[in-house]
Chain A
């Protein structure tokens, strides 16, 4: 797996993401700067990690979505390349219109860092083949603006096309407002684009890949990508 991690000024989980990619794929990812205009040749996964791009002083992700590196990412996605956006990365993908909808302030208006439970809705995607459909995984969140919303038509489309990949749920896998910390509609934690090659998600699977540090529940996402790309090659 030849991955590239995009670093905008103010992104701060790039080291976490790079370490996880190295740990799971055995290969060092390329680190791209926001002022770059091209991806390294042969890139097969682009990751936009979490943080506060450009300070997020405007709407989260709004400035990053207009930075010099973005046209290359648009091109890459249009050709079917795999793109993963986590946390701020998800917000940036929405602002860049690579994904529909928007992330609003958490329902309680506070930043929240805690472990949450996610129900994996499908296992037949490059991002979730390391899991079983219906499986519940425990991964951390750390965000102030993760409350996903879109117009009802878009939500219906996302649901109808099976593009909701992860949902906040109880430990038993039930979607329940008591287990939805940010108020996202339908408990939506992660969605795919229409073509199925761009995933945005609020939780941080990259922070749960080692048993000694939390859990290994996030590992399946990266291991699945490695396997998918190995088979595709």
Chain B
């Protein structure tokens, strides 16, 4: 076996990212030295990215079930039932390392990969979101990375033809050497036409679909499982190149063969390409797989078995075909101008056999490739708790009005219009709420159902207290869905952390996952899919722990949703949830006082649920005319956003007993601003009291300025200029 392949040396094992004890495990498993192709297969399957070896034991604690969950984690994407025979299929995934090395292609192929995860299950993608974390704006590479990543996301999604409707963009020096690009895709399918990866039946043809295989992306998944040192840029050849045109054709061709009943099982070729797709289909179906690499369509001649098994060329799928449908399926793929090749078959042996040039290049036990991957109980230390910041001890360095004007022009709070205008966010003709609100909303088919979509996390909270930060990320996603009137149904989590071999980092991971689990449980908001990205470190410094939560909620009638813009003059402005006062880890403390300090705001999940359910009720009844949740920047920033979105101002009053800076900029959780008709206000306050929901009147909408005595009035137009000005100015080259 394995002619022309070099013998396996310890150096070769190390180059494949396998530890000596992991290699011993391979020897024990197969009872001989592996061939080079086999070593490559093991390295692809056993790296962190594919095997979840550090995270697996902790992920088991996440709630994944609810009556409306059709498919939880473990498939290409999660699936939930939205009634009427329809299902929503969604997932979020990171493409962090590739995007740092080659921002345009890294981000583009991140979008392509997540779209394939969704349509491989039989769903037509109807929306994308993304959460982006960049380094300090003053860092010399940041502008280049922002420009490339945004263009790459737009370049792929716009051409593929899916609206990119929402997300987050943040800046922090801890992402200087390791940006985060988390992409989420959402698709729509019929509940009885969901496709899975598990093969069934012996002797069934395995078909290769899509683009040809080239030498790009070899060992991409292994790269994503290691820290960056100096010279990360030299890893550019491991980044794949995206072709959204082929992906669009692949989408249409796949949906067509699915509709025609040709498909037994289907799996996209993502990380670790042909290796992971073939083994997954076999292992899940309790079957063996034999591949004949001579039949694989290749872009270049002379590719070895090793290269073909590890290539991460994009826009490819593997399918188990109903044999009687072969001619029909092939005709459909030919019509779309795509490759279609029978490259193997299912067997009863549970062996994964790879042939090339008439020789057997790999012969491995298929189930053990996945199930026997190492699982680590990595040691961890809990992040020490930080003391709460006493708001009274924080001296305001400037007036409330000045602080507001400064905050809304900071990198994190300023408008991200420059970003989302580069994404086609209206294609499909179903975008009800465009980017810039609490959650995006897309109509389902011709309505009346609507889906609310959001991506959230507050990494500085997670850094200060992983458990509370994990809770907060889930609560904020739930709150954003609620703020547009939707019932939150389920989420996908994209867990971005540093090197798990460091106990402190592992402690962050464990803390965040526990917090996420607790919030999911309390809010009936299960995890149905996700992705773990570890080793986000450069030269030994980890990123802020960033567990991005992608939330999906449902409105039975999308026309009964709320937006954050004030609607009319003279309406009553109510604060739901109680007076804010928490300055620890707030943007006010960081960007106005220059301190990143203290415990983050705690999340009272019972109150969160009670307040949210109350607000959702106000929206459903039609009483709420505008709704916005409180998050980064606090109450006054929320009010400013409502004013800027409408051009309508507000007359506000600081409560007598409150500390003004803590009241207006505290980031306490579980709070909303709601406007109602002036004549409804008293009744609403009474209703809130009956529901045990704290509510108070803040003032009324009026004029074209924010009036907050004793501060001088702030014109909305001035705020808009500052809010809209920072990012375009920065990208045009002015100083950070």
* Chain A contacts to B: CB under 8 angstroms: 9-10, 12-13, 15-16, 19-20, 33, 35, 51-52, 54-57, 110-114, 140, 142, 144, 204, 206-207, 210, 212-214
The 10 closest A-B pairs by CB, nearest first: A12-B161, A55-B245, A52-B159, A142-B424, A16-B429, A113-B424, A10-B245, A111-B422, A111-B154, A140-B426
Which A residues lie within 8 Å of B2 (CB)? Answer: none
Q: Contact: B430 with A113, CB < 8 Å?
A: no
Q: Contact: B426 with A111, CB < 8 Å?
A: no
From residue A109, how far is it (CB to closest CB) to chain B in Å? 10
Which A residues lie within 8 Å of B424 (CB)? Answer: 111, 113, 142
Which A residues lie within 8 Å of B158 (CB)? Answer: 52, 111, 113, 142, 144
Which of B337, B426, B430 is the one whose CB lies under 8 Å from A9? B337
From residue A215, how far is it (CB to closest CB) to chain B in Å? 11
User: Assuming A16-B429, A142-B158, is B421 touching A114 (CB within 8 A)?
Assistant: yes
From residue B431, how far is it (CB to closest CB) to chain A in Å? 7
Q: Contact: A113 with B249, CB < 8 Å?
A: no
Q: Contact: B428 with A15, CB < 8 Å?
A: yes
Q: Contact: B161 with A112, CB < 8 Å?
A: no
Chain B residue nearest in CB terms to A209: B429
Which B residues lie within 8 Å of A113 (CB)? Answer: 158, 420-426
B424, B431, B443: which has the most chain A beta carbons within 10 Å? Answer: B424
Chain A residue nearest in CB terms to B431: A213
Check B637 for interface membership: any CB of A closer than 8 A: no
Which A residues lie within 8 Å of B423 (CB)? Answer: 111, 113
Check B248 for interface membership: any CB of A closer than 8 A: yes
B residues 447-465 in Cβ contact with A at 8 Å: 447
Interface majority SS (helix, strand, loop, mixed), chain A: mixed
Check B633 for interface membership: any CB of A closer than 8 A: no
Which B residues lie within 8 Å of A142 (CB)? Answer: 158, 424, 426-427
Encode B154-180 as 1/0 by CB contact (under 8 A) with A.
110011110000000000000000000
Chain B residue nearest in CB terms to A54: B245
Q: Contact: A55 with B428, CB < 8 Å?
A: no
Q: Contact: A55 with B159, CB < 8 Å?
A: yes
Chain B residue nearest in CB terms to A12: B161
Q: Contact: A12 with B248, CB < 8 Å?
A: yes
Interface size class of B (residues with CB under 8 A): 20 to 34
Check B336 for interface membership: any CB of A closer than 8 A: yes
Chain A residue nearest in CB terms to B164: A113
Chain B residue nearest in CB terms to A14: B161
Which A residues lie within 8 Å of B559 (CB)? Answer: 212
24 example contacts (A-B, Cβ-Cβ < 8 A) are as follows A9-B249, A10-B159, A10-B248, A12-B248, A12-B427, A13-B427, A15-B428, A16-B428, A33-B335, A51-B161, A52-B159, A52-B244, A52-B245, A55-B244, A55-B246, A111-B154, A111-B155, A114-B421, A140-B426, A144-B158, A210-B429, A213-B429, A213-B430, A214-B426
Check B432 for interface membership: any CB of A closer than 8 A: yes
From residue A139, how far is it (CB to closest CB) to chain B in Å? 10
Q: Contact: A213 with B337, CB < 8 Å?
A: no
Q: Contact: A9 with B245, CB < 8 Å?
A: yes
From residue B416, how far is it (CB to closest CB) to chain A in Å? 13
Which A residues lie within 8 Å of B249 (CB)? Answer: 9-10
From residue A212, how far is it (CB to closest CB) to chain B in Å? 5
From residue B321, how far is it (CB to closest CB) to chain A in Å? 23
Q: Contact: B161 with A13, CB < 8 Å?
A: yes
From residue A67, how far is it (CB to closest CB) to chain B in Å? 12
Q: Contact: B429 with A9, CB < 8 Å?
A: no
Check B243 for interface membership: any CB of A closer than 8 A: yes
Check B134 for interface membership: any CB of A closer than 8 A: no
Q: Contact: A12 with B337, CB < 8 Å?
A: no
Which B residues lie within 8 Å of A207 (CB)? Answer: 426-427, 429
Which A residues lie within 8 Å of B155 (CB)? Answer: 111
Chain A residue nearest in CB terms to B432: A213
From residue B732, how far is it (CB to closest CB) to chain A in Å? 9
Q: Contact: A110 with B422, CB < 8 Å?
A: yes
From residue A211, how far is it (CB to closest CB) to chain B in Å? 9
* Alpha-carbon separation in the docked complex, A10 to B161 (Å): 9
From residue A203, how far is it (CB to closest CB) to chain B in Å? 11
B residues 602-619 in Cβ contact with A at 8 Å: none
From residue B350, how far is it (CB to closest CB) to chain A in Å? 40
Chain B residue nearest in CB terms to A53: B245
Which B residues lie within 8 Å of A10 (CB)? Answer: 159, 245, 248-249
Which B residues lie within 8 Å of A54 (CB)? Answer: 245
From residue A47, how far is it (CB to closest CB) to chain B in Å? 15
* Alpha-carbon separation in the docked complex, A178 to B216 (Å): 44
Which A residues lie within 8 Å of B430 (CB)? Answer: 213
Q: Contact: A19 with B426, CB < 8 Å?
A: no
Check B319 for interface membership: any CB of A closer than 8 A: no
Which of A13, A35, A212 is the one whose CB lies under 8 Å from B432? A212
* Alpha-carbon separation in the docked complex, A54 to B337 (Å): 11
Chain B residue nearest in CB terms to A113: B424
Check B558 for interface membership: any CB of A closer than 8 A: yes
User: Assuming A55-B243, A142-B158, A212-B558, is B428 touching A112 (CB within 8 A)?
Assistant: no
From residue A89, how far is it (CB to closest CB) to chain B in Å? 14
Chain A residue nearest in CB terms to B252: A9
Which of B151, B429, B431 is the one whose CB lies under 8 Å from A110? B151
* Alpha-carbon separation in the docked complex, A214 to B424 (Å): 14
* Alpha-carbon separation in the docked complex, A214 to B163 (Å): 14
* Alpha-carbon separation in the docked complex, A86 to B558 (Å): 28
From residue B130, how far is it (CB to closest CB) to chain A in Å? 15
Which A residues lie within 8 Å of B244 (CB)? Answer: 52, 55
Chain A residue nearest in CB terms to B429: A16
B residues 412-447 in Cβ contact with A at 8 Å: 420-432, 443, 446-447
Which A residues lie within 8 Å of B248 (CB)? Answer: 9-10, 12, 52
Which of B159, B431, B558 is the one whose CB lies under 8 Å from A12? B159
* Alpha-carbon separation in the docked complex, A111 to B424 (Å): 8
Q: Contact: A56 with B432, CB < 8 Å?
A: no
Which B residues lie within 8 Å of A140 (CB)? Answer: 426
